[in-house]
Structure 1
Amino acid sequence: MSTRTRTTVSLPVDLVAHARAASGGNLSAYVEHALRAQQLRDAAPAVRAWREQAADDSEELADVFGEDVA
């Protein structure tokens, strides 16, 4: 199990009310899920850049070896 830390945040009342209602009684898990989803969205530009570079490398390798390496 990963190490956990208690954190205090200030949020709008309506947002907390919605999160509590939608969380099914586990607000921490609900917030963790939302933060992990945002973490993935934040990483998307770097992943896109990596995939574009990998595609360029695959085309170069195909030119060198004369076969589809993708």
Structure 2
Amino acid sequence: MTTRTRTTVSLPADLVAHARAASGGNLSAYVEHALRAQQLRDAAPAVRAWRARAADDTDELATIFGEDVA
């Protein structure tokens, strides 16, 4: 089971009202989903850079295995 930490944040009232309405009664899960989505967006530049560096590796692997590995 994942350890949970209770956190207090201050947000604009209209944003909280929307989140409560959209959350289906589970505001914590709604906020967690939003934060995880942002975490992925934040990681995207690093992932793109890694894929660009790895592109040379896929060419080498394709040569070794004789198939398209990309």
Instruction: Provide TM-score, normalisation by structure 1.
Output: 0.85
Aligned to 1:41: 41
Amino acid at match of 1:46: A
C-alpha distance 36-62 of structure 1, shift in aligned 2 (>3 A):
closer
CA RMSD of aligned residues (A): 1.9
Unmatched 5+ residue regions in structure 2?
none
After TM superposition, the runs of 4+ consecutive aligned structure 1 residues lying more than 3 A away are 62-65
**CA distance in 1: counterparts of 2:3 and 2:62, whole angstroms:** 48
Aligned to 2:19: 19
Q: Secondary structure at the match of 1:10?
A: coil
How many residues matched?
69
Q: Percent identity?
A: 78
Q: What per-residue deviation string (whole Å, max 9, x for no partner) do you get for residues 10-60 of structure 1? A: 00000000000000000000000000000000000000011111102223x
Aligned to 1:32: 32
Q: Secondary structure at the match of 1:52?
A: helix
Amino acid at match of 1:16: V
Unmatched 5+ residue regions in structure 1?
none
